[in-house]
Chain A
Amino acid sequence: MIAQNIGFWIIAIVMIVAALRVVTTNNVVHAALWLVVVLAGAAAQYILLAAEFVAVTQVLVYIGAVMVLFLFGTMLTRARIGTESDLNNSYKKLGIPVGLVMFAAMSVALVSSFGDEKLPQTASVVSTQEISDQIFGPYLLPFWALSFVLLAAVVGAIVLARKD
């Protein structure tokens, strides 16, 4: 348990620092790379939460596919590979209080509802079979809907990005 806790805190701090860099760095490519760190950290947290399959999917889909998309997007829009001073807009100042107020509201809510409740100690890892039983059982309909969403997204992305 202690090892897990130490792991959690190390990863959490790394994630928070990386996330802050994502939203503050002046280099688009760096931002993408910092995002990789956050996503990998999230995958690690999923494993701590006994969600193996989701963690693996996270690595495959996010770090594998989505990041490549981001880098391609950066490249195709010819953003300068290097420092750029003009990435933030004039509402930067508004963003800080908004974020802080939200965080304050959430903290109060979290502390008052969960206090020092602990996660179950003996949780076993959720197997892929269990998840598939859920997806192809009671949650089949959302799965179908999602398939349509993906299809529409694929078609839409092609239509949007096509040159004509």
Chain B
Amino acid sequence: MFVNQFLFLAAVLFCIGVYGVVARKNAVLMLMSIELILNSVNINLLTFALRNGSTDGHVFALYIIAVAAAEVGVGLGLVLLVYRNKKTISVDDLSEMRG
């Protein structure tokens, strides 16, 4: 197995995730795209852990999973709050930050 086949898989997933973040309007779908990005990073970490024969990558992959869980929890909490106040979760309708 080549190092690159895993890295390329991660790169493809990352770019798809980026596309999702940019293109999606629904807040829940945006969060899902972010999960794709995080998973691609995990694949990279584990590939390098195997390549270098160290366990550091595993530790950080686990930390990322934990952080992702926290992020989804807070993110969905926010989405619920927004929905309750505005009856929509389309991020395009949230333009209070207009300059």
Touch test A–B (CB under 8 Å): yes
Q: Which label, helix, strand, loop or mixed, suits the secondary structure of the B interface? A: helix
Which residues of A from 104 to 160 have beta carbons under 8 Å from B?
106-107, 110-111, 114-120, 123, 126, 130-131, 134-135, 139, 142-143, 146, 149-150, 152-154, 156-160
**A-side interface size class:** 35 or more
Q: Which residues of B contact A74 (CB under 8 A)?
A: 28
Q: Which label, helix, strand, loop or mixed, suits the secondary structure of the A interface? A: helix
Residue of B nearest to A92 (CB): B23
Cα distance A45–B41 in the bound complex, in angstroms:
13
Contact A50:B70 (CB < 8 A) given known A39-B39, A102-B18? no
Q: In the complex, are the beta carbons of B26 and A87 less than 8 A apart?
A: yes
Q: In the complex, are the beta carbons of B62 and A57 less than 8 A apart?
A: yes
Which residues of B from 1 to 44 have beta carbons under 8 Å from A?
1-9, 11-20, 22-26, 28-29, 31-33, 35-36, 39, 42-43
Cα distance A54–B57 in the bound complex, in angstroms:
10
Q: Which residues of A contact B19 (CB under 8 A)?
A: 23, 95-96, 98-99
Q: Which of A23, A87, A99, A163 has the most CB of B within 10 A?
A: A23
| Pairs A–B under 8 Å by Cβ, sample size 16 | A19-B36, A22-B29, A23-B16, A35-B35, A45-B6, A49-B47, A50-B50, A73-B31, A73-B80, A95-B19, A99-B15, A99-B19, A103-B15, A139-B56, A156-B73, A161-B76
